[in-house]
């Protein structure tokens, strides 16, 4: 029996995503039983959305985004960036700096620090023996890579560092669209998984989620179509190996019973199925 999914992950720009939720509300897909999850395409610029007219269409949505801890350095940087941006782009008043901009700043700072640590004020040595058509090749590359790979510091986006040559996974913040704003649900870290607070390793008492349709019951995430066909089970009618499957017909009641170890296993399996059959 086929089942229709009711879980949707939305990875869109704020403008397109907002219109999608308006349409979903219009056709009844923001009702009880549905699950909607929005990703960083919308959540990283959430401040531009939660003041809009689309909030009524997004009630009960779950959002995930990279967590950026508050700090005085971050606030000072945002003020300086905003002032400079408005100066260069006077027509764009509501521009916001997202996580990608913060990562870019920290990455640039990390590279500058790595260059200073690996090379100091020494001259850059170049080798033109290969790739001459593409320009000069620095002989200090291995030193720079080593210094950059071991770089670790607290940037404006949070802890910045590399693990096996890859940027360390960021903490993921989970929130629930509720009313005119958001409600914190918890966090996800690569070390502890889901937790209520970052200063705890327990996932007990995660925030209560209000799902679409103003429901607090956890949705199944699927539905059985009304026109779905019933599941039919066939059993062999030939006699033999009755300990596995035995079919008995009662003439008085005109009913058939099925017994045997295979039937017992089937019935036990059906009892633990997470959905009705």
Residue-averaged pLDDT of the chain: 83
From 51-60, 133-142, 203-212, the region with the lowest mean pLDDT:
133-142
Query: pLDDT band at residue 119, thresholds of 50, 70 and 90?
Result: confident
Signed CA dihedral, 106, 110, 111, 113: sign only: positive
Residues 181-232 pLDDT 10s: 889 999 998 888 888 888 877 766 788 899 999 998 888 777 766 555 667 7
Query: pLDDT band at residue 1, thresholds of 50, 70 and 90?
Result: very low
pLDDT for 174 equals: 94
Mean pLDDT of 84-90: 88
Question: How far is residue 198's CA from residue 219's CA, in Å, rounded to a whole number?
Answer: 27
Q: Catalogue all structural domains in the chain, each as residue range(s) with its CATH number.
A: 4-67+171-223 (3.40.50.2300), 72-167 (no CATH), 231-277 (no CATH)
pLDDT for 75 equals: 94
Query: pLDDT band at residue 141, thresholds of 50, 70 and 90?
Result: confident
pTM beyond cutoff 0.75: no
Res 29 pLDDT > 60:
yes
Query: pLDDT band at residue 122, thresholds of 50, 70 and 90?
Result: low
Residue pair 181/52 in contact by the 8 Å Cβ criterion: no
Question: How far is residue 274's CA from residue 218's CA, in Å, rounded to a whole number?
Answer: 14
Q: What percent of the chain has pLDDT over 70?
A: 85
Structure tokens at 81: 């960036």
Residue 73 CB partners (closer than 8 Å, separation 6+): 156
Residues 226-263 pLDDT 10s: 555 667 788 877 777 788 888 888 888 888 888 888 88
From 36-40, 47-51, 237-241, 250-254, the region with the lowest mean pLDDT:
47-51
pLDDT for 228 equals: 56
């Amino acid at each position: 029996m086929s089942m229709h999914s009711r879980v949707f992950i939305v990875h869109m720009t704020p403008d397109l995503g907002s219109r999608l939720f308006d349409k979903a509300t219009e056709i009844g897909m923001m009702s009880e039983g549905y699950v909607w999850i929005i990703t960083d395409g919308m959540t990283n610029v959430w401040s531009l959305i939660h003041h809009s007219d689309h909030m009524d269409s997004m009630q009960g949505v779950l959002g995930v985004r990279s967590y950026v801890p508050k700090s005085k350095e971050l606030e000072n940087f945002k003020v300086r960036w905003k002032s400079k941006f408005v100066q260069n782009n006077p027509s764009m008043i509501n521009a916001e700096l997202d996580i990608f901009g913060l990562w870019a700043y920290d990455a640039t700072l990390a590279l500058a620090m790595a260059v200073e640590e690996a090379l100091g004020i020494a001259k850059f040595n170049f080798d033109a023996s290969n790739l001459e058509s593409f320009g000069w090749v620095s002989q200090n590359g291995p030193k720079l890579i080593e210094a950059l790979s071991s770089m670790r510091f607290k940037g404006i986006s949070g802890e910045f560092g590399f693990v096996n040559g890859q940027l360390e996974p960021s903490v993921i913040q989970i929130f629930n669209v509720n009313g005119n704003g958001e409600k914190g649900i918890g966090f996800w870290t690569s070390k502890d998984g889901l937790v209520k607070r970052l200063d705890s390793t327990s996932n007990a008492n995660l925030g209560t989620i209000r799902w679409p349709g103003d429901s607090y019951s956890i949705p199944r995430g699927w539905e059985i179509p009304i026109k779905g066909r019933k599941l039919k089970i066939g059993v062999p009618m030939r006699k033999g190996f009755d300990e596995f499957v035995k079919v008995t017909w009662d003439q008085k009641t005109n009913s058939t019973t099925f017994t045997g170890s295979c039937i017992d296993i089937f019935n036990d399996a059906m009892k633990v199925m997470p959905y009705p059959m």
